[in-house]
Amino acid sequence: MKPLPEECSVRNCMVDPSRIHYLRSIIEAYPGLAVVSTIDSAIGLVSIAIAPGCERDVRLILEAERETLKLSEAFFEDASGYASP
């Protein structure tokens, strides 16, 4: 059995700004799964901190709701020039 990571993984996504609350409600319906943080509500940029071992569950939820949320992955560069999702 593979050991679980000790830290959360983070996914940055773009969603329809009017759907941020909907995304948060879906994710928070599963206690301990993940936490949704809004980075920029005007453009719908959110960050999802996923509990270790829950990445697959979050991925399945996001895939199922992709159309409703108008979801896409968000990539941006940090100060070192590294592009991260």
81 occurs within a structural domain = no
Model confidence, pTM: 0.80
22 occurs within a structural domain = yes
82 occurs within a structural domain = no
52 occurs within a structural domain = yes
19 occurs within a structural domain = yes
85 occurs within a structural domain = no
Can you point out the beta strands (E) in the chain? 9-14, 34-40, 45-50, 72-73, 76-77, 83-84
Domain span including residue 26: 9-76
Cβ–Cβ < 8 Å for 23, 84: no
Q: How many domains does the chain have?
A: 1
Q: Name the residue with higher pLDDT: 21 or 83.
A: 21
Give the tens place of pLDDT for each residue, 28-85: 999 999 999 999 999 999 999 999 999 999 999 999 999 999 999 876 554 444 444 4
At position 49, the amino acid (one-letter code) is A
69 three-class SS? helix
Q: How far is the C-alpha of 68 from the C-alpha of 26, rounded, in Å?
A: 12
CATH number for 66: 3.30.70.920
31 occurs within a structural domain = yes
